[in-house]
Chains A and B, each alone.
Chain A
């Protein structure tokens, strides 16, 4: 059981370049989330999805777009990367049904992105 898988694990971008981060989960979870983690800031929610085909803005959505075309995948896109988007990005999933609810959220291993 792989849980939540993020690709890539590391990436360096030049300012203005675009990229997509992929999050895949194999637990049939309804909810998926993208967070960013910056030193001393904890994790902050970028966007989230409560089901296939639906997305919503979190606390810090500017400069990012997301899509959830399939239930198991949640994509985070940066259309024009900026140095302020240098961060570690975590994907997470959760479910309102069954025992996984009591385990809370499952996090991926993270993507370390540097924008130069």
Chain B
């Protein structure tokens, strides 16, 4: 059974600081997703990581994937208040396709204080 663990589950930080959210998963997969969710809203796709060593950056967010360690990280650089949200990582159950759906972590609730 595929399990996805995120940590921390809750993070309060100050603007301007850097921090990293970790996502560990239990079985082999080569496809990992990061989503952002604002309160009462749907999921917004941030990154799709498709191979070992993949690194993607968008603004102050950078995601990486190490399939050998079964670990992905979401790094926040010089945080700003607008990045306050809940962040989810999710892993495809099937290699090479999206048939069986995603398994999600429990999410990291991020609050960035001015």
Contact = CB atoms under 8 A, between A and B. Distances in A.
Partners in one complex: yes
A56 B99 CA distance: 10
Given A42-B107, A94-B98, A96-B99, A105 B33 contact: yes
Nearest to B97: A96
Interface residues of A, number: 28
A42 B106 contact: yes
Interface string B100-114: 111111110000000
A104 B106 contact: no
B111 to A, nearest CB: 16
Contacts of B98: 31, 94-96, 101, 104-105
A48 to B, nearest CB: 5
A40 B48 CA distance: 23
A105 B102 contact: yes
A115 interface: no
Contact of A104 (B9, B48, B100, B107): B48
A45 interface: yes
Interface string B27-67: 00000010000000111010010100000000000000000
B42 A42 contact: no
Counting chain B CB atoms within 10 Å of each CB, the highest count among A31, A43, A58 belongs to A43
Nearest to A48: B101
A103 B48 contact: yes
Given A104-B45, A105-B33, A48 B100 contact: yes
Interface in B63-112: 88, 90, 97-107
A49 to B, nearest CB: 10
Interface of B: 4, 9, 33, 41-43, 45, 48, 50, 88, 90, 97-107
List the 6 closest pairs (A to B, CB-CB), nearest first. A42-B104, A94-B98, A42-B106, A43-B104, A45-B101, A104-B48
Interface of A: 31, 33, 35, 40-45, 48, 50, 56, 58-59, 90, 92, 94-96, 101-105, 107-110
